[in-house]
Amino acid sequence: MPYCPDCGVEIGHVGACPLCGAKNPNAASAKEAGGKEKDKLATSYFLEGASSDESFTPLEQKKITWEVISIACAIAIGALGAINLLLENRFSWSLYPISTLTFAWMISTAFLMLDRQHLLRDLLLAFAAPLYFLALGAIAGNPAWALDVAVPLAFFIEAVVRAFVYLAAKARRKGLNLIAHGLTGVALICVVTELLLDYYFTGRIQLGWSAIVSISLIPVAGFLLYLHYRVAKATNLHRLFRL
C-alpha cells in the first residue's frame, strides 16, 4: 500500500495526502497503467471484431477486386467519352484510351472471374490482344496494319508463351532448361516479327536483324540445355567448378 513521502501516512492511490497535502507520486502511474490497460482491452476488442467481420475468402477478394476495377474503368471511360464529346462533338482521341481500358478490363476479368472456367478464360485471353489491335487499327483508319502485322504477331506470341508455360509445367527439374526455352521463344518471335514487317512494307521476305539475333541466342539455348540435361544431371556442378 503506498504511503505519503513526507509524513508516512498510508494514503493509497489518492492524488494528495489528506494529512499534509503532499502529492502522491504513485497516483499518476496507477492512473496511466489503468488507462493503458483500458486501451489494450479496447484495441483487442476492435481487432477481434475486425478480424471476424472483415475476413474474406480468396474468391470474395478476387470478386471485390474485379468490381473495383470494373467501376474504375467504367467511370474513366464515361469521363473520357463525355470530355471528347463536349470538346469536339464526336468521338476521336478518346477512343484510344477507351479501347485500352476495355482491353485491361478483359484481362482482369479473365484472371479474376474465370478461374474455374478454363475454356472461357483461355478464349478471352487469346482474343483480347487481337481484338485490341483490330480496334486500334480501325480507330487509326488503317485496319490493314492490324490484319497483316499486329493480329498474326499477337497470336504467335500467345502460342509461344503457352508453349513455354506447358514445357515449364511438364519439366521434372526446372533450371537452365527454362532459360533455354525462353531464349528460343525470343528468337522465334524476332524472326516472325521481321517476316511480317518485311511482307507488309516491301512485299518480300529478307531476313536481317532477326537472323543475327537467332544465331546469337540458339547456340546459347542449346548449351544451356546440354548443361541442364547432361552435365548438371551427371555431375555435381559445385564439385566440377570447385565452387
Residue spans of the domains in the chain: they are: 1-55, 56-117, 142-243
pLDDT at site 210: 92
pLDDT at site 60: 86
The answer to whether the CB of 127 falls within 8 A of the CB of 134 is no
User: In this model, does residue 101 exceed pLDDT 60?
Assistant: yes
Name the percent of the chain lying above pLDDT 70: 73
pTM, two decimal places = 0.65
The answer to whether the CB of 99 falls within 8 A of the CB of 134 is no
Residues 74-98, mean pLDDT to the nearest whole number = 94
Residues 5-22, mean pLDDT to the nearest whole number = 66
Please, which residues bridge with residue 16 across strands?
Answer: 23
| Model confidence pLDDT, tens digit, residues 40-70 | 555 454 444 444 445 778 888 899 999 999 9
Residues 190-215, mean pLDDT to the nearest whole number = 91
pLDDT at site 51: 47
User: Is the backbone of residue 91 left (phi > 0), alpha (psi -120 to 50) or beta?
Assistant: beta
